[in-house]
């Protein structure tokens, strides 16, 4: 089983996809970079990405929110984006 939750376009030939995958009977969250293959006429996965066990999903969300909060603090103090 594999289902795409969504994607972020990085440029015309590269996206980051968030997917739910089933590996060995266990669900995982897969966040991976895909590139457009002219040969295949579709986006194909690269090795650049991370797969997280589903039971760590809530922790992953907290970590990402923490990173966003930190960036907001830095920006509020006059830092760069």
Question: How far is Cα 59 from Cα 65, in angstroms, rounded to an integer?
Answer: 10
Residue at token pair 């996965």: 45
Report yes or no: 71 and 81 within 8 Å, Cβ to Cβ.
Answer: yes
Evaluate whether residue 21 is within a structural domain: yes
Expressed in angstroms, the distance from the first to the final Cα of the chain is 37
CATH code, domain carrying 17: 2.30.31.10
Instruction: Provide the pLDDT for residue 78.
Output: 87
What average pLDDT does range 59-63 have in this prediction? 97
* Residue 23, C-beta contacts closer than 8 angstroms, at least 6 positions apart: 51
Our count of domains for the chain comes to 1
pTM score: 0.83
Instruction: Provide the pLDDT for residue 81.
Output: 57
For residue 52, the enclosing domain spans 2-76
Indicate whether 33 pLDDT > 60.
yes
Instruction: Provide the pLDDT for residue 1.
Output: 87
């Amino acid at each position: 089983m594999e289902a795409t939750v969504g994607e972020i376009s990085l440029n015309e030939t590269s996206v980051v996809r968030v997917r739910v995958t089933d590996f060995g009977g266990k669900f995982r969250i897969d966040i991976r970079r895909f590139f457009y293959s002219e040969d295949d006429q579709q986006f194909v996965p690269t090795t650049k990405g991370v797969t997280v066990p589903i039971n760590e999903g809530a922790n992953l969300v907290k970590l990402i929110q923490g990173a966003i909060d930190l960036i907001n603090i830095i920006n509020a103090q006059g830092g760069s984006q």
